[in-house]
Amino acid sequence: MRHMKSLQKFLPKYSIALALLFIVTLFFLMTKGNSVAIEAGEVTNAELVQAVYATGFVEADAVANLNAESSGTVSYVGALEGQHVIAGQKLLQFDSPQPQLAVHEAQSALAEQQALLRDSRRRTVRKNSLFNEGAISRQELEDAEKNSLQTEELLQQRSFQLKMREDDLKKLTVIAPFSGVLTLQSVKKGDYVTINALVARVVDTSRFMISVEVDELDVPRMRHGQVATVAFDAYPEKRFSAVVARIVPQTDQITKTSRIYLALDHPPGNIQAGMTATANIIYNVKPNALLVKKSSLFEENRQSYVWKIDDGRLKKQPVRQGESDLTFVEVVQGLKKGEKIALSPDKSLHEGLEVNITPVKKP
């Protein structure tokens, strides 16, 4: 009997606890979905920088590929790969008997013609004296003068032929056209070289250019003198300033790109031709623009929206976009500086949803 009375006293308290738990659970279920934790960002004014991204390589501004202009055996090597050369320096010399023999023959022919001209001039002077004395006819004098003129013309021909043979002889020597570094020297002493064979390459290392490929859709934005920021794979932590120096007015039909040359303001000291480079070519800078992250925008029926946080709840806010870069979009209508918006407009969000702002996760 005493156990029954104790149970009767305990049951009302247990029932009240169950009722309270039921009410709390019911309230939670009713309010579930009306609150969400989100990352939020503030609408700010900042500088909007628009740039065209392009990739390419380092190129020397001056490169000379030197081919053998005559066949012959290498008799002299004046520089090796990697060595610095100066303009006019002899890099290679070939031996070939034919051009040398041709020069000797032309020199002999010229000397012989010079002697003939001296004799012809003496005869003309003598004929002129005889004509004045009446010893010969005018016809004989004119024939002597004509012979002298023909001898002079033959001398000019011999002189021209000698110059041609000397030019052929010079083709046996490979000369550096400008100062730089020899990046190719493919022969050694004793090698036989055929005409037109590539034997050396000189690169002017005092000035490098960055050659990049720009999509044809971005070409209309390109102008001479535009500022660019360049990065090299060899220097991943550094950035270098450059300007647009040349725009090639030709679009590749396969890649649909055009080539742009950038001149570095202060290139690194050990840059090399062929290094991979990337560039951001700035074509527009808009100061004090009202910006939001691209990720915060979503679109419905061709209208852009953001989820604005108003008094702790979400409000679907229509906005009008302006210019943009890779990360930010300018808002020209619909938001004000300092307002907070959801950074990730998930599909589960809806109007009036209560939000708890959480710290933005670092990438």
Question: Which CATH code fits 97-171?
Answer: 1.10.287
Provide the pLDDT for residue 18. Answer: 53
pTM: predicted TM-score of the whole model, two decimal places: 0.62
What's the confidence (pLDDT) of residue 24?
Answer: 44
- Each of the 363 residues of the chain gets a pLDDT tens digit; together they read 444 444 444 445 555 555 555 554 444 444 444 677 888 888 989 989 899 999 999 999 899 999 998 889 999 999 999 999 999 999 999 988 777 777 788 888 888 888 888 888 888 888 888 878 888 888 887 887 888 888 888 888 888 887 888 777 788 899 999 999 999 998 999 999 999 999 999 999 888 999 999 999 999 999 999 999 999 999 888 999 999 999 999 999 999 999 999 999 988 878 888 999 999 999 999 998 999 999 899 988 889 999 998 888 899 999 999 988 888 999 999 999 999 998 888 888 888 888 888 776 655
pLDDT at 11: 44
Which option is the CATH number for 35-48+287-358: 1.10.357.140, 1.10.3720.10, 2.40.420.20, 3.40.50.620?
Answer: 2.40.420.20
Specify whether domain 63-94+176-205 bears CATH 2.60.40.10: no
Which superfamily, per CATH, for 52-61+206-285? Efflux pump adaptor protein, beta barrel domain (2.40.30.170)
Which pLDDT value is given to residue 29?
40
Which long-range contacts (C-beta less than 8 Å, at least 24 apart) are formed by 31-34?
A: 33/353, 34/352, 34/353, 34/354
Which pLDDT score, from 0 to 100, does residue 26 have?
42
CA count, 13 A, side-chain hemisphere, 356: 5
Return the domain boundaries, the chain. 35-48+287-358, 52-61+206-285, 63-94+176-205, 97-171
- The Cα–Cα gap between 79 and 328 comes to 55
